């Protein structure tokens, strides 16, 4: 009571001082002699100044009154709380329109000592010899004709260079098997992969000198499940003897630009654990010949997985040429932040155009193709250079061996050692026994001749990838994994990739954004399901209730982990597979997502029960319902609408992070009369917003309820929702709709104040306690530079952190593909200033390119790479200007409808264009990661991309 009196006296004193100050000012003006001498008439300018000052004083008085009122309400609430009544500290709005939240009871940010983070120590270590940003800045990218090696240069050598140190050649047979591309995973396995692996077991056992490497464990595990015990034993013997090597050992050969590093780690663990369990082997060397560019994340992960060396292939041809000229194709790859070389891994970069046989034996593909014995006359494929291979006989072995040795020697001149790696394979090679015989028998005759003539100073043999790296380490006198003397250290990444001319493979950064988003959703649910399942199962075992818990959920977890791993394949998450294959991936992802929601529901049900003995698993009728559902693999999620009545509805929230978080959680309910209680029974402040079906239409009887709640680390929290007419803790959002001259009906509802602005181009701003975001009144985009921050760019950045190195921005050349399929182009309207290029007469491998017609500074904006199929980049082509990708802005026929929603916990701006919808949301929540803005969606033609969800939540009745 004493505090209440003090506050009242203080407020009255402030009010009196303000009024007295106003009185003195008016009195001084009235008694000014100069004004009396001029006849008592004030100049108009001075009257205007006086009026402005009076308005400012009135505004200050109003703000003081508002502050005093809130202080008074807080005192009353504290008094009521002391009497045993629950208290809600409500946000309030200041006269200038900003929402102010109650102060946090605990600090939101903590200081970090530099000793706690290596990054804080600065660059104390040795600088790398090659930094990719610096390399890119000096390259001319002029694409000069290099002769037989079109993208390189002429290579010469002296015949006696190997007299003192013979050339050691390792020919590494391999077969690159895409787990989905032109065919689905299952179709590839049935048609080709199982035959490759079956023949491998037989043909390797015929000669102990033969070698083979395999990478994709997804295919290998499926084959393993269908072979006999005797064949499994033979595989283990081949691995043990070194004839067969499992390289990288991941579930797939992942894309390195779109995949999140969590998923990259998961697929790597899944493959390594499978190998350890079934074959008893751990991979030593990495093999990445087909990802479209290479991230610095992958070498870090491989090194942490105890691999000591790796190989990459798809690097910009200009960089390959530069590295070949400077003998830098082999290097220690180091992280940019590493001060002590602990992340170093030895890397081999293949120097030529492709990983097929014509581009691996040496610089002249016309000659190398003659040593691809699958192309012998009479087969299904031949050499494009019109010179076919010839079977090796006693009559021609000398001539053929010298021709091949010349290519080996020229290739070796690009490297620092006299140990040479020559891959021998291509996509889905060795699928027939005849190819095994043709390749191995003919090459063995060549090797026998070369090795039998010491004057040639060469030793050639079949080998595995680790055979090569071990021989290199031995020749340079170091332990495998350590830096060979004189070899460079490199940091950075290898994006963007171009295989020839100006064919930049960057369209896949945004192709099929719907499935890129679905990948992230599944990844988040997988993490949540693994955590909750582990916690629930551990508790059930300690309580002796594991027999009543659904242990079968573990198999569903494994299936989901493998489905997510499969989608990290470099033709899956990239969006570069055929349409039927993409649908197959989508079905797998959705099936796993449904199973993960079931696992989460089962675990949350067990963990929230106070009496664990009452737990009963019912597969037919789950205790908790899910927060959303998807009808099909290409459907957008539909959020569950919670039906309120006077009895409580319970919502279970789960925080999958290892730290406590303060989050805004949004739910849909069927009534605006809602009251939300915390787990302790305390009422929570609620932001009530409309649910919109279009730019101007509200969904009837559906309301969005947003609550700010603190979630424990790796913990569950329960909210109670009631239908209540007590609106004290409910704060309604306000809405402004900018129609820009359109004659659209706006049907406001009593609950929400809606102000319609028929025509205006004035900019407006939203702010919170930490930042201010201003928007163009005409476009609804952020200003200044409204083109720079858009939904498409935010979706892109959110969906592939592993591959986008900010330091490499100069290399990101803007290129996209537009596909022609079966003679018909995609039926999508193009923005003004664009036209289609290409004839579409080259069969199924042709594509459409998009070019700017006039006023373009970026030149070509559309090539993806032959033989790769992409969906139309809906999130990009029909969005607004992206200076990093597009040189000309999206120009709609008419300005968008802009809807501005303002509330205490978040405010948002929704812009509705002809083809795309963008929503930018500004949060007003204290704490880590919430004092900023987020682009929530970029929607067009049924596609959706999202910057992420806040938490998992489910609703259900107490039984």
Q: Which residues have a catalytic role annotated?
A: 290
Q: What would the two tokens of residue 918 be?
A: 């963008």
Distance CA 180, CA 529 (A): 27
Distance CA 943, CA 946 (A): 10
Q: Where are the alpha helices (DSSP H) in 489-617?
A: 513-542, 553-567, 579-608
Q: Is there a contact between 623 and 929 (Cβ–Cβ < 8 Å)?
A: no
How many CA atoms are closer than 13 Å to the CA of 48, on its beta-carbon side? 3
Distance CA 947, CA 933 (A): 11
Beta carbons within 10 angstroms of residue 47's beta carbon: 12
The rounded Cα 783 to chain-centroid distance in angstroms is 26
The phi and psi torsions of 783 (rounded to 5 degrees) equal -130, 155
Beta carbons within 10 angstroms of residue 205's beta carbon: 14
The answer for residues whose C-beta is within 8 angstroms of residue 591's C-beta and 6 or more apart is 563
Task: Look at the chain and count its residues.
Answer: 959
Distance CA 903, CA 468 (A): 63
The rounded Cα 869 to chain-centroid distance in angstroms is 20
Distance CA 401, CA 421 (A): 17
Helix (H) or strand (E) holding 450: helix 433-451
Strand intervals (E) in 763-894: 764-767, 772-775, 782-783, 817-818, 820-821, 824-825, 834-837, 848-852
Would you call 881 exposed, middle or buried from its count of C-beta atoms within 10 A (0-12, 13-18, 19+)?
Answer: buried
Distance CA 763, CA 601 (A): 46
Q: What would the two tokens of residue 774 be?
A: 């201003």
Distance CA 319, CA 349 (A): 10
Distance CA 904, CA 922 (A): 10
The phi and psi torsions of 884 (rounded to 5 degrees) equal -75, -25
Q: Is there a contact between 842 and 849 (Cβ–Cβ < 8 Å)?
A: no
CA angle 377, 378, 381 (to 5 degrees): 80
Would you call 824 exposed, middle or buried from its count of C-beta atoms within 10 A (0-12, 13-18, 19+)?
Answer: exposed
Would you call 452 exposed, middle or buried from its count of C-beta atoms within 10 A (0-12, 13-18, 19+)?
Answer: exposed
Burial 611-623 (b: 16+ CB within 10 A, else e): eeeebeeeeeebb
- State whether residue 651 is helix, strand or coil: strand
Distance CA 18, CA 12 (A): 10
Q: 588: closest CA among 556, 628, 624, 627?
A: 556
Distance CA 4, CA 319 (A): 74
Cα–Cα separations (whole angstroms), residue 406 to 80, 113, 685: 93, 59, 78
The rounded Cα 208 to chain-centroid distance in angstroms is 44
The 345-349 sheet, strands edge to edge: 130-131, 489-491, 330-333, 345-349, 309-312, 285-288
């Amino acid at each position: 009571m004493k505090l209440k009196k003090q506050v009242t006296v203080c407020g009255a004193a402030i009010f009196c001082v303000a009024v007295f100050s106003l009185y003195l000012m008016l009195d001084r003006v009235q008694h000014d002699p100069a004004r009396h001498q001029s006849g008592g008439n004030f100049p108009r300018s001075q009257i205007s100044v006086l009026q402005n000052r009076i308005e400012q004083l009135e505004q200050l008085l109003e703000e003081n009154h508002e502050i005093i009122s809130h202080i008074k309400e807080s005192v009353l609430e504290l008094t009521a709380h002391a009497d045993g009544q629950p208290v809600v500290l409500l946000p309030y709005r200041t006269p200038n329109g900003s929402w102010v939240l109650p102060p946090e009871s605990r600090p939101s940010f903590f200081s970090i000592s530099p000793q706690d983070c290596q990054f804080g120590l600065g660059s104390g270590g040795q600088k790398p010899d090659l930094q990719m940003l610096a390399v890119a800045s000096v390259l001319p990218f002029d694409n000069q004709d290099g002769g037989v090696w079109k993208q390189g240069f002429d290579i010469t050598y002296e015949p006696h260079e190997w007299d003192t140190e013979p050339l050691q050649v390792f020919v590494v047979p391999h077969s690159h098997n895409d787990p989905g591309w032109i065919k689905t995973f299952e179709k590839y396995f049935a048609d080709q992969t199982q035959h490759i692996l079956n023949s491998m077991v037989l043909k390797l056992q015929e000669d102990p000198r033969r070698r083979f490497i395999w990478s994709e464990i997804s295919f290998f595990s499926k084959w393993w499940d269908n072979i006999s015990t005797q064949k499994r034993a033979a595989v283990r013997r081949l691995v043990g003897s070194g004839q067969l090597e499992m390289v990288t050992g991941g579930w797939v050969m992942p894309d390195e630009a779109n995949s999140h590093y969590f998923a990259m780690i998961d697929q790597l663990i899944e493959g390594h654990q499978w190998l350890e369990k079934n074959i008893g082997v751990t991979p030593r060397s990495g093999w990445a010949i087909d990802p479209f560019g290479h991230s610095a994340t992958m070498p870090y992960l491989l090194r942490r997985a105890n691999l000591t060396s790796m190989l990459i292939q798809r690097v910009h041809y200009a960089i390959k040429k530069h590295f070949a000229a400077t003998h830098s194709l082999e290097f220690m790859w180091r992280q940019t932040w590493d001060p002590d070389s602990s992340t170093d891994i030895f890397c081999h970069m293949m120097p030529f155009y492709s990983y097929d046989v014509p581009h691996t034996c040496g610089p002249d593909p016309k000659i190398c193709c003659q040593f691809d014995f699958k192309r012998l006359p009479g087969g299904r494929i031949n050499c494009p250079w019109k010179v076919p291979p010839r079977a090796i006989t006693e009559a021609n072995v000398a001539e053929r061996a010298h021709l091949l040795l010349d290519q080996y020697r020229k290739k070796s001149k690009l490297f620092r050692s006299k140990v040479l790696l020559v891959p021998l394979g291509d996509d889905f090679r060795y699928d027939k026994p005849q190819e095994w015989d043709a390749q191995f028998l003919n090459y063995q005759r060549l090797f026998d001749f070369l090795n039998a003539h010491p004057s040639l100073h060469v030793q050639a043999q079949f080998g595995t990838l680790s055979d090569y790296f071990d021989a290199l380490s031995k020749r340079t006198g170091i332990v495998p994994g350590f830096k060979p003397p004189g070899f460079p250290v490199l940091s950075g990444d290898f994006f963007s990739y171009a295989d020839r001319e100006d064919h930049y493979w960057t369209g896949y950064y945004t192709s099929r954004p719907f499935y890129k988003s679905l990948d992230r959703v599944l990844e988040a649910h997988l993490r949540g399901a693994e955590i909750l399942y582990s916690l629930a199962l551990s508790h059930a075992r300690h309580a002796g209730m594991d027999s009543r818990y659904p242990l079968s959920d573990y198999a569903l977890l494994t299936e989901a982990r493998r489905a997510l791993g499969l989608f990290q394949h470099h033709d899956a998450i990239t969006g570069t597979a055929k349409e039927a294959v993409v649908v197959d991936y989508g079905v797998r992802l959705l099936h796993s997502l449904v199973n993960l929601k079931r696992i989460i529901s089962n675990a949350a049900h067990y963990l929230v029960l106070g009496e664990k003995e009452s737990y009963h698993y019912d597969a037919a009728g789950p205790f908790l319902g899910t927060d959303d559902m998807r009808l099909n693999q290409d459907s957008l999620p539909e959020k569950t609408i919670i039906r309120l009545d006077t009895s409580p509805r319970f919502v279970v929230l789960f925080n999958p992070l290892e730290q406590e978080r303060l989050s805004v959680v949004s739910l849909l309910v069927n009534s605006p009369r809602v009251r939300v209680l915390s787990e302790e029974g305390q009422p929570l402040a609620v932001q009530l917003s409309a649910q919109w079906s279009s730019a101007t239409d509200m969904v009837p009887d559906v309301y969005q309820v947003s609550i700010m709640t603190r979630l424990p680390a790796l913990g569950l929290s329960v909210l109670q929702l009631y239908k209540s007419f007590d609106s004290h803790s409910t704060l309604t959002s306000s809405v402004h709709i900018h129609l820009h001259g359109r004659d659209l009906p706006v049907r406001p509802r009593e609950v929400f104040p809606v102000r319609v602005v028929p025509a205006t181009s004035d900019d407006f701003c939203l702010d919170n306690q930490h930042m201010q975001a201003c928007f163009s009144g005409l476009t609804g985009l952020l200003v200044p530079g409204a083109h720079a921050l858009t939904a498409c760019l935010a979706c892109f950045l959110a969906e592939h952190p592993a591959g986008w190195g900010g330091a490499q921005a100069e290399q990101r050349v803007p290129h996209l593909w537009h596909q022609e399929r079966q003679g018909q182009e995609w039926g999508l309207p193009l923005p003004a200033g664009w036209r289609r290029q290409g004839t579409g007469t080259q069969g199924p491998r042709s594509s459409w390119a998009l070019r700017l017609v006039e006023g373009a500074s970026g030149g070509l904006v559309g090539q993806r790479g032959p033989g790769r199929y992409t969906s139309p980049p809906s999130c990009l082509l029909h969005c607004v200007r992206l200076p990093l990708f597009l040189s000309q802005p999206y120009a709609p026929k008419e300005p968008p409808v802009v809807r501005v929603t303002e509330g205490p916990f978040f405010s948002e701006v929704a812009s509705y264009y002809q083809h795309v919808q963008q929503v930018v949301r500004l949060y007003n929540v204290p704490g880590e990661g919430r004092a900023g803005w987020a682009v929530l969606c970029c929607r067009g033609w049924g596609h959706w991309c999202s910057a992420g969800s806040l938490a998992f939540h489910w609703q259900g009745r107490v039984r």
